[in-house]
Amino acid sequence: MSASAFAIDASGLCLSYDARRVLDDLSLSVPAGAVVGLVGPNGSGKSTLLRCLLGLSVADSGESHLLGCPSLLLDDPTRERLGYVAQTPDLFEWMEAWEHIETIGRAYANWSPERAARLAVQLGLPLGATAGSLSVGDQQKLAVVLALSHDPDLVLMDEPVASLDPIARRAFMRTLFAYREDGAAPRTVLISSHQLGDLERVVSHVAFMRAGRIQLMDEWDALIEHVRVVAGPPPAGALHVARDGRALVDLRRTPCAVEGSPVGLDELFVLLNT
């Protein structure tokens, strides 16, 4: 990898639509090999962030790099190593699933029909149906196969499993790690999702987003081990104080005399956003 050890490196991103600030001086650094859950309420800017990182939207200011390459100047060798699942997949209604996979796949040097077929089978995607006749869930499966068939090193996914049932979501999570070429370094993944129970299985890191900023990002194991929720008067140096008066403290920064309770991803999400 080039100069930076970060697969994703963004700093100072700002973007406004009309008068609304969607990204507000956002910085994010994702180490190579990390699987990062990007979580935040609807409208917090997750999709816009993913689009900016990929150069599909242009930030008003700030800069970002993917695999060491500027987002707005992604060259072919870098594109070859990227996969993206958009919130609403761009599909041709009249085209069959397998035709999509072949047509789009052939644009990549590293595309393999075997890998594509195995991914499709693992996800239970009907290959002979036209995209227009697929359910929303099956369209998402197709988008995932399209994003992973060339064995990318970095994948950005925007709500890829929103319409999948729990069994298909399990299968999806397995595909994140499967069918890598032998000896390839672990894939870096940035995935936005509201399926927090799913994320808990696979993430190495969680980035909490709120109002156009990254509010908190850390290794998930570290957050479970060190973040506690405490009732009563909020201690100095609390990470966040929720509206109901409960406070989140990081024991590494605020060794806390008051006994707190550990907190899961669901609860952490709620507390950080109220």
Q: Which residues bind other proteins (CB under 8 A)?
A: 33, 35, 170-171, 173-174, 177-178, 186, 197, 200-204, 220-221, 224-225, 262-266
Q: What is d(CA 60, CA 67) in angstroms, rounded to the nearest whole number? A: 22
Q: How far is the CB of 159 from other proteins (least distance, A)?
A: 18
Cβ-based burial of 22 (10 A; exposed 0-12, middle 13-18, buried ≥19): buried
Q: What is d(CA 4, CA 153) in angstroms, rounded to the nearest whole number? A: 15
Q: Whose Cβ is closer to other proteins: residue 37's or residue 89's? A: 37
Look at residue 268 and give its three-state secondary structure. helix
Q: How far is the CB of 117 from other proteins (least distance, A)?
A: 18
Q: Where are the beta strands (DSSP E) in 170-221?
A: 188-192, 205-210, 213-219
In this structure, the number of other CB atoms found within 10 A of the CB of residue 177 comes to 12
Q: Whose Cβ is closer to other proteins: residue 43's or residue 262's? A: 262
Q: Whose Cβ is closer to other proteins: residue 59's or residue 191's? A: 191
Q: How far is the CB of 111 from other proteins (least distance, A)?
A: 23
Q: Whose Cβ is closer to other proteins: residue 35's or residue 239's? A: 35
Q: How far is the CB of 160 from other proteins (least distance, A)?
A: 14
Q: Whose Cβ is closer to other proteins: residue 180's or residue 210's? A: 180
Residue type (1 letter), 155: V
What count of residues does the chain have? 274
Q: How far is the CB of 85 from other proteins (least distance, A)?
A: 18
